[in-house]
Amino acid sequence: MASVTADDDLTPRHRRLLFRALHRGTKECDLMLGGFVRRHLAALSPPELDELEAILEMPDVDLTDWLSGRRPIPEEAQGPLLARIVAEMARPGAGRAP
């Protein structure tokens, strides 16, 4: 698993997704979602990138609650990538600043 760094040669789509994931508007969501995207962006498949774009359209309040486990993810918002992010955020120390 290779983390994305500022020096990586990213496509415009990857750069845009990384920026959006790291600049959500709330620090908690920036750390949780942005950290996941930074760690996994390079390995995401095109369908996963599509799902990530949909996740980035979701409100911060909802994402923060779902990623932290405060509320369950409603059926209409569920997807494989979001489930993967939630599982990673459930690990001890997840979402902490590097």
Query: Diameter of the chain by CA atoms?
Result: 38
Contact 52, 81 (CB under 8 A): yes
pLDDT band per the 50, 70, 90 thresholds, residue 9: confident
Give the torsion sign (CA, 35, 44, 14, 52). negative
In this predicted structure, the answer to whether residue 1 has a pLDDT above a threshold of 70 is no
Distance in angstroms (rounded) separating the CA atoms of residues 12 and 85? 23
pLDDT tens profile 34-61: 999 999 999 999 999 999 999 999 999 9
